[in-house]
């Protein structure tokens, strides 16, 4: 029980990597609050659901205040909500779509950190895990807003780690490769096949494989890690 008595918030937790992580956190003893726009199928027993928009700072205030009111603190924040949104390059993407993608992927993390840092500081520390991507490390043609926002999440995580290390707050980023999630199912099959083809393991990863990495970063087992990048990508970025 690696998260016994921990209070954890998981954004984008209704499906995919977020859901797998929320379920694993609960299995490992945490009290888990899933924050998402909606939930399609019931979550496991004991996991709370809160309707939440990561791009709305007031929604973040209500979320964190509600968790503190019910449970007294926040020990873990998994900033996981995100979107690909567009595969367009810079010269053709609609600027409003660019802003929307950046708002979800980057500003969602920014607002989350702003709200949990005072709570974690007051309670002696905590762990923040931000979802970046292999494309926050390696380049990719097109996909302009996604790659820019995920690279920014990588850098933001290091800034948070260094800014709040004295408060006992750790922050690390996780960098999944191509994972079998509803977001990937919705994209063009040819795009998916192309990425799998250049992944050395030649397969999609599973949400649980990513969740295992997030669990490590959330738990006290990673107590000497902050500002680090955990890459789980079937070898993609090793090339």
Residue 146 among the catalytic residues = yes
- CA dist., res. 232 & res. 49, Å (int): 27
Each residue of 12-31: b (16+ CB within 10 Å) or e?
A: bbbbbbbbbbbbbbbbbebb
Cβ partners under 8 Å of residue 237, min gap 6: 134, 137, 138, 175, 177, 231
Closest-CA residue to 131 (of 168, 79, 191, 54):
79
Annotated catalytic residue, options 87, 111, 146, 236? 146
Active site residues: 146
């Amino acid at each position: 029980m690696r998260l016994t008595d921990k209070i954890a918030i998981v954004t984008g937790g209704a499906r995919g990597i977020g859901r797998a992580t929320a379920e694993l956190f609960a299995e490992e003893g945490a009290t888990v609050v899933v924050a998402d726009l909606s939930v399609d199928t019931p979550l496991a027993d004991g996991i709370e659901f809160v309707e939440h928009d990561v791009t709305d700072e007031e929604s973040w205030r209500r979320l964190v205040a509600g968790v503190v009111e019910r449970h007294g603190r926040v020990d873990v924040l998994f900033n996981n909500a995100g979107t690909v949104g567009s595969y367009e390059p810079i010269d053709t993407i609609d600027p409003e779509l660019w802003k929307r993608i950046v708002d979800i992927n980057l500003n969602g993390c920014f607002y989350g950190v702003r709200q949990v840092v005072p709570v974690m500081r007051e309670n002696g520390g905590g762990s923040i895990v931000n979802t970046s991507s292999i494309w926050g490390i390696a380049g990719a043609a097109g996909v302009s807003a996604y790659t820019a926002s995920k690279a920014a999440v990588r850098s933001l995580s290091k800034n948070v780690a260094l800014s709040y290390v004295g408060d006992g707050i750790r922050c690390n980023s996780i960098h999944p490769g191509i994972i079998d999630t509803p977001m990937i199912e919705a994209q063009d099959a040819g795009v998916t096949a192309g990425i799998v083809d250049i992944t050395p393991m030649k397969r999609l990863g599973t949400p649980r494989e990513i969740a295992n990495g997030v669990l490590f970063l959330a738990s006290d087992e990673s107590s000497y890690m902050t500002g680090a990048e955990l890459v789980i990508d079937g070898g993609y970025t090793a090339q």
